[in-house]
A = this chain, B = another copy of it.
Amino acid sequence: MRASRFFISTLKEAPSDAEIVSHKLMMRAGMIKRLGSGIYTYMPMGLKVIRKVEAIVREEMNRAGAIELSMPIVQPAELWQETGRWDKMGPEMMRVKDRHGRDYAIQPTSEEVVTDVVRSELKSYRQLPVNFYQVQTKFRDERRPRFGLMRGREFVMKDAYSFDKDVEGMQKSYASMFDAYTRIFTRFGLKFRAVAADTGAIGGNYSHEFHVIAQTGEDALVYCPSSDYAANMEAAEALALSSERLAASQQLVKASTPDTTKCEQVAQMLGLQLSQTVKSLALTVEKEENGRQVKENWLLLLRGDHELNEVKVNKVPGLSSFRFASEAEILDAYGTVPGYLGPINTKQPVKVVADRTVANMADFVCGANEAGYHFTGANWGRDCPEPIVADLRNVVEGDASPDGKGVLAIERGIEVGHVFQLGTAYSAKMEAVYLDEAGKPAPLQMGCYGIGVTRILGAAIEQNFDDKGIIWPDAIAPFEVVLAPMGYDRSEMVKLEADRLLAELLAAGVDVILDDRGLRPGAMFADWELIGVPHRVVIGERGLKEGNLEYQGRRDEAATAVPAAEMVGFIKAKLGK
């Protein structure tokens, strides 16, 4: 490719709405162009990266035996109504009416459509397993689109759906996709981590997320450096900090703690460690009992220095639809105001759930259910009944790994892939069955597997940039090599060598661009450093007179002289071709 035949449009400044580095750099490098909130045109330079990402994804999906098809973007409401997601998806799903007033969704994902395809196409266990995938435009009407391609509304996703005859088969399909994803992210040349995850809105019972590691990542990833334990913060299991309860050694004492509603303040006032305090969170659960609406009071207890994990709360039996109690409800149940709650002497009966760590504490500090007072020396069994025990908190660095093989570390990541074991969550509702070996209908066991194709671009940049611009890994760079001639339009010697090198590198299967725009070296280098092409060859008269060209990798501090005759081989070696 010659730069004069391509479209290059770089900016000195990023637009003011670009908050994070990948968004800024993609805008400045001319890779994307904003059309509306969360909606971008993929400009030629950006599209080229997207195509490379897609190609790697397709190769590995095909290698894993998945078969590509393409489902419509505009999908009839009826299928979404069958699974109940027409209502459940909320405003994130764009809905549209056709000229006859019929309802459609603009696909945010395609479980319903693929299950519909499969229920009419698959008849027999002999046709299983099958795994269909597509690489397609999706739309999700995010409440607050931002960060460029990271949280856009229109985006490209690879979504795959496996169908098996039994759970064991589904697990095999899942493992095969897990391996394919590992190959895909490895081939991208990105540092990544797969973590166990909660299944959330998609449903099902087992899932992993694939994250690109980046300090700016939205998600906290928990892992054990000395084992293969890894989970996202929502799913990472927190063990009790002491394995058994300590013996009580103090009396229960009511201490005056006026205007002291936070554990940090209480600990300071009483001269105690924050880790001796317990914080109390009042919940309300509304439910029907014998046709009447009743309210239950629940109290969650966490150690003062720990953070609540709401996903875990949802999993405590009875708390799947909890909400935080209002001040009026708190007054009614505890007889006091927030900041002084505790498990001892509540006004009304309260179900108390203690985090595993709290359940093993002794002589702890908690609210006295009286404004301005806390108890010290509180102990389970003696001062209040034994609590329900559950994992309620976020893990922290240094916690014991749940597999018992070390301590946990935390790093930041950007979610770019997600694999789910769905089981029969969709096939049961949509009556997607096959005939088993005995000729009897049985529901299909399903898995689904997504990769955020356009998001990969943002994530790759968040992981790989410097103050000059983007640093693409070779595999997904818009061009692998840029040829930067010094005076292409002035020096016949330079022009000849640049043209020769272009032709030979193209013939060697290298994706190379020759910058024949006639820019001055500073501007030319700045453009390609911003765009992030990983390998640069400078062709200048001075070097050529000694038979040399200059090579510089995007991360290299300085250029290396390479004999012109050896440059093609040198580049091929750099690229592993």
* A interface residues (Cβ-Cβ under 8 A, vs B): 5-7, 9, 33, 35-36, 39-44, 47, 50, 65, 67-76, 91-92, 94-96, 98-99, 104, 106, 113, 116-117, 120-121, 130, 132, 137, 139, 141, 143, 153-154
Contacts and interface: CB of A to CB of B under 8 A. Distances in A.
Contacts of A50: 70
A139 B73 contact: yes
B65 A41 contact: no
Q: Which of A9, A33, A67, A69 has the most CB of B within 10 A?
A: A69
A67 B44 contact: yes
A6 to B, nearest CB: 6
A99 B141 contact: yes
Contact of A74 (B6, B43, B67, B106): B106
A7 B39 contact: no
A562 to B, nearest CB: 30
Contacts of A42: 69-70
A8 B116 CA distance: 17
B67 A6 contact: yes
Closest 4 CB pairs of A and B: A96-B96, A91-B99, A42-B70, A36-B76
A72 to B, nearest CB: 5
Number of copies of this protein chain within its complex:
2
18 contacts: A7-B67, A7-B132, A35-B71, A35-B76, A35-B116, A36-B74, A36-B75, A42-B70, A44-B67, A44-B69, A47-B69, A47-B70, A50-B70, A92-B99, A96-B106, A99-B141, A99-B143, A106-B106
B35 A75 contact: yes
A41 B130 contact: no
Contacts of A116: 35
A153 B67 contact: no
A387 to B, nearest CB: 42
A44 B61 CA distance: 14
Contacts of A76: 35-36, 39
B96 A41 contact: no
